[in-house]
Chains A and B, each alone.
Chain A
Amino acid sequence: MAQRTLSTEHPVASIRVSPNGNRLRLNIIGSLNAPGTASIWDDTINPVRTGKYTHVEVDCSDITYIDGSGVALLLKLREEAGLSGGKLELNNLKDEHKKLITLTWDCDLTQLISINKEHRGLAEAVGETTEELMKGLHDLIAFVGESSVMIIQSIRHPGQVRWKDVFLSCIHVGVDSLFIITLLGFLMGLIMSFQSAISLQRFGGEIFVPNMLGLVMFREMGPLVTAILLAARSGSAFAAEIGTMKINEELDALTTMGLSPMRFLVVPKLLSALAMVPIMTLFFNLASLVGGAVVMLSLGFPLVTFTSRVFSYLGYGDFMGGMFKALVFSILVAGIGCLRGIQTRSGASAVGLSTTSAVVSGIILIAFADGIFAIAFYYLNI
């Protein structure tokens, strides 16, 4: 990276070093601004650091200008002289320079440096990580419990739900993502059908592409891709929105007004995700069938063959299973987005971390849940 440096208004400094037994005399000449100090830093510090002088004398009579950099140099000299058991003496210091130096001369900066040198062992690091994981798990369980209670309460008392917020959230979560979800569905249907058709063509089995496409999209890919899109678009947005509110103490304000942040912020988002994700999945599935149909038509199969093969092979259980998965995924993704938002610490970077964590945790949860569904559906013969 090109470094911009301050222009030198004062002439650059130089140093004259005169050792005399266990005494060292340094004559600093010129300007001790940043460029001047930088040019003589090593030449000034190294003789004091390497030699064991009991007395280091700095002749300041030829210093024409001094600022914070120059003071830092003199402080460093004092520190290095002290480490060798020596003493630093400043001679012929001009009054105007003395004013600046006295501002920081009495501060013990060596003590400050040692504060930072805190090293942690492996055991401590493992312990700390485990504690954080356990706390995260505890928070997750508490959040699942609280949000479940809230949703049940909302169903029992729909008047308590802030429906305006739910509808607004539905627009952000569902309506605004309609184009991208349809496009994704169409392209995935097109690509999967085309790739499968090329492989199956060798065995004369292109006719089975619609069977595969319907099953894969309705059972697996539809809920999965929709949930991943939800994590990327809405989960991150939930985390960022609630996280920013947390930093601005808006969550505290809600609490002190007697309003539950869960009811006020989380429930509308969960309800909107619950309402929108099955619809989004449906759009994805239908768009993927259109993509598949385009491939089959281009291969010379009539549309009726495609549709009859899709719907004769695809069972009601496949469709409902896919929709149920979409519902569960939506709760997981929206819930983890809100939870990460609530867990946001302070600072602008914390919002970024929450957003990233919301997406990563959401996708991991989706993958886990999908694995559990695969095993459960297998044993339930769905």
Chain B
Amino acid sequence: MNTNDPIISIQNLTCGYDDTVIVDNVSFDIFKGEVFVILGGSGCGKSTLLKNMIGLYQPMNGKIFFGTDELTGAQGEQRDKIICKFGVMYQMGALFGSMSLLQNVMLPLEEFTNLPREAISMVAQCKLAMVNLENAAYKLPSAISGGMKKRAAIARAMALDPGILFLDEPGAGLDPISSAELDELILNLSRTLGITFVIVSHELESIYKTADRVIMLDKDVKSIVAEGDPKQLRDTSENLFVKRFFHRQPSLGKTGHDKNVSTAE
């Protein structure tokens, strides 16, 4: 599935807020068509890294490339061109509350294409149909469930047919059925359309099911502590934090016990 040239390349990225470094000097590549998951415990900088990758925050140091285009420092039309290459689904959906789902999906098409009105409406309907929301097209976000909101947000993120979709905690707060449906959707879109997914998550079941490759961040070292296939990492990693994470074991400091993993390192 992977080709030699990465679709996203992160080079020596350092990011954080004000003077506080959250993620320090990380480098990794993401290849076309893969489902790439950034995982780690709460507060390790997963969302911060994602927000830097999509250009919401300016990194403290390092470079972010989409293909051959550099996002860091890009402005105006050049930045628009890069931004149109990806869609983003935010943690809470971030749908515009005053607009119906259809209008939410139509918005980027109205702003970025010169398609006629009926074409825009048709494209938006198709996107909603892809996420099984064709019957909720005229509902407001307030009138639908959390799982539907996330699916609608994916439909909006796909409006301009980007090659890359960033998903911030897609399974958070969903019931197991909705979460499984979302996983199916991600796999389906990835396998059928070749969309590259960059997902921030700590939902282990979903990660095992969808992820081709993961990186794990640790807030103590402020960097990547593991990279690879999630099941392999679970079964073979010797890193104490990685083992604790995949085996859902509490940290030593909180309990005073280091259940069964104290000999791992």
Chain A residues within 8 Å of B, Cβ to Cβ: 3-7, 33-35, 37-38, 41-42, 67-69, 71-73, 75-76, 99-100, 103-104, 107, 109, 112-113, 115-116, 345-350
A101 CB, min distance to chain B CBs, angstroms: 10
A68 touches B114 (CB 8 A): no
Interface size on B, residues (CB 8 A): 37
Q: Report Cα–Cα, A34/B134, bound state, in Å.
A: 21
Contact A6 B113 (CB under 8 A): yes
B126 proximal to A (CB < 8 A)? yes
Residues from chain A with Cβ under 8 Å of B193 in the complex: 99-100, 103
User: With an 8 A cutoff between CB atoms, is B53 at the interface?
Assistant: no
CA A113 – CA B124 in complex, angstroms? Answer: 12
Q: Map CB proximity to A onto B139-153 as digits: 1 under 8 Å, 0 otherwise.
A: 011100000000000
A-B contact pairs, 5 of them (CB 8 A): A38-B114, A38-B115, A107-B134, A109-B134, A346-B142
A-B complex: 4 closest residue pairs judged by Cβ atoms? A347-B97, A72-B122, A346-B142, A67-B161
A108 vs B129: C-alpha distance when bound (angstroms): 9
List the interface of chain B (C-beta within 8 A of A): 77, 80-81, 84, 97-98, 109, 111-116, 118-119, 121-123, 125-127, 129-130, 134-135, 137-138, 140-142, 158-161, 188, 192-193
Determine if A348 and B97 form an interchain contact, defined as CB atoms under 8 angstroms apart.
yes
Dominant SS among interface residues on chain B: helix
Residue A38 contacts which of B97, B119, B134 (CB distance < 8 angstroms)? B119
Whether the Cβ atoms of B97 and A75 lie closer than 8 Å is: no
Contact A68 B123 (CB under 8 A): yes
Q: Per a CB cutoff under 8 Å, which of B113, B119, B138, B188 touches A76?
A: B119
For the A-B complex with A6-B113, A73-B119, A113-B125 known, give 17 more contacts whose Cβ atoms are closer than 8 Å: A4-B77, A4-B112, A34-B109, A34-B112, A34-B160, A38-B113, A42-B116, A67-B161, A68-B161, A71-B123, A72-B125, A76-B118, A100-B193, A107-B134, A109-B122, A347-B140, A347-B142
Report the nearest A residue to B77, measured CB to CB.
Answer: A4
CB nearest to A115 among chain B residues: B138
With the chains together, A349 CA to B96 CA distance in Å?
Answer: 9
Identity of the chain B residue whose Cβ is nearest the Cβ of A45 in the assembled complex: B118
Kindly state the separation between the CA atoms of A72 and B134 in the bound complex, as whole angstroms: 14
Q: What residues of chain A lie closer than 8 Å to B113, measured between beta carbons?
A: 5-6, 34-35, 38, 69
